[in-house]
Structure 1
């Protein structure tokens, strides 16, 4: 069964409720590749027995989160309420939206807010542009931190133990011919990000995709998210996109950090 990383929130084993872990494992079995799995397919994905999966699915059905489609199962729109509650209860999302609009208007490119969750970055908010892009992302989409500008901007100023944990959980798959290949290369890339003040990544997550991200700090000088802007190699070179977007993205991230109470130390 796939493990769900609970980070520091997981207490002792006595406080760990395995049935909840199994319930979330079943929910995670519904994805883009298989949005309507059978009971047997869910059991295979999660490593749980078919009777256990059946009980969990029936419970989720009774709660309104899944529905039966013959022998197959599907999520219901009610699962969106979980993400909605997250957005409504986190000031970061509300505070970031005007900055995302500003970035999208200035660059005429898609703008996103990303947060770190284990070895992945999760899109917490997004302002798309009306243009066909090869990468299909929406709020809740997860991408690997190591191969994205958002992930590198989040990790560049993160505590060393956070970076070490992400590296330990990362497989460093070669997603494209340009994807960096391991922990040493990632550390080098993070040092460059700190030097620049932002992360710029081209064709590492997907061929033809360029993205630029800047960190958001809270009042404790902790990185709580990133603002990002993305384009395609058909519209920009790396250099032209840097000239086009970097100043705006960094400025918006700095303004948002200030709104959250961050005051940078001056030399």
Structure 2
């Protein structure tokens, strides 16, 4: 007679232990990490168990260990790749705290608007994307976590450049200033004028077809005590009424700024749209 060991998971479901499960802990951990197929992937416990075919209790135990070791992070929106995994892939830097602080607001922005929400930082003359949250339209938007775009022609980049001294803007942007589309700002005089308008709007930046012809975007910076730390944006097609969703972006950036940098004093005036 063959005896089959039975494990009962936390939902009361009997799971046969000999159901072709990977025999070692290392293999099971690898199976779970493989389920996170992109830096922006977020999965619930149930999704991890379903994807890996591991018992729920086993998946939960290993997930807890991976979180403690910083291979994964955990928030109310589920599990995501943690600092160690992101650093191995070259996309994480030291921005885990920033990604965790913005996760909820990015999801809320996407759910309320149906648009694609981004988190990005300045990296030289470029913006580098740390997170991307979107529905069906996300596949149309040519951005990816870890990817880059020229700062001077993206709303994300302009929202951050607006809070840098003019000489720093020129040091970053001037050596690589170039044209992406017919609407790209290609000279420093025009760019400085645009950054001044952004400051007059209390940090709200717009971009319509400057980086990609059929894409429009609105962004606001997350500001630390020494300048812009990152920016949040919403992206739609060329016909999107950005003014309608702009207040949501301002509130989101302000919320993260106050959470991470409570010492930063922000103006409370409503931004103008002109």
TM-score of the aligned structures, taking structure 1 as reference length: 0.63
SS in 2 for 1:259: helix
Shift of 1:137: 1.3
- Pairing 1:252-267 to 2, within 5 Å after superposition: 252-262=252-262, 263-264=264-265
Contact 2:166/2:192 (8 A) holds in 1: no
d(CA) in 1 for partners of 2:143, 2:230: 17
In structure 1, stretches of 5+ residues that fail to align are 1-77
Residue in 2 that maps onto 1:12:
none
SS in 2 for 1:205: coil
**1:167 lines up with 2:173 in the alignment:** yes
> Structure 1 residues 231, 102: closer, same or farther in 2, change over 3 A?
same
- Pairing 1:1-267 to 2, within 5 Å after superposition: 81-83=88-90, 85-86=92-93, 90-131=96-137, 134-173=140-179, 175-197=180-202, 198-218=204-224, 220-234=225-239, 236=240, 240-243=241-244, 245-262=245-262, 263-264=264-265
Contact 1:133/1:232 (8 A) holds in 2: no
> Structure 1 residues 241, 171: closer, same or farther in 2, change over 3 A?
closer
Shift of 1:166: 1.4
Greater C-alpha Rg: 2
> What's the CA shift string for 1:2-59, capped at 9, x where partnerless?
xxxxxxxxxxxxxxxxxxxxxxxxxxxxxxxxxxxxxxxxxxxxxxxxxxxxxxxxxx
RMSD between aligned residues: 2.2
> Structure 1 residues 181, 226: closer, same or farther in 2, change over 3 A?
same
> What's the CA shift string for 1:65-122, capped at 9, x where partnerless?
xxxxxxxxxxxxx9973336536x5311111111111111111100000100000000
- Bigger CA drift: 224-233 or 157-166? 157-166
What is the number of residues matched between the two proteins?
Answer: 182
> Structure 1 residues 83, 129: closer, same or farther in 2, change over 3 A?
farther
d(CA) in 1 for partners of 2:259, 2:87: 28
Shift of 1:168: 2.6
More helix by share: 1
Contact 2:126/2:149 (8 A) holds in 1: yes
- Bigger CA drift: 130-139 or 225-234? 130-139
Ranges of 4+ aligned residues in structure 1 off by more than 4 Å = none
In structure 2, stretches of 5+ residues that fail to align are 1-84, 269-274
Contact 2:129/2:145 (8 A) holds in 1: yes
TM-score of the aligned structures, taking structure 2 as reference length: 0.61
> What's the CA shift string for 1:138-162, capped at 9, x where partnerless?
1011000011101100100013332
d(CA) in 2 for partners of 1:266, 1:136: 33
Contact 1:157/1:194 (8 A) holds in 2: yes
d(CA) in 2 for partners of 1:85, 1:266: 31
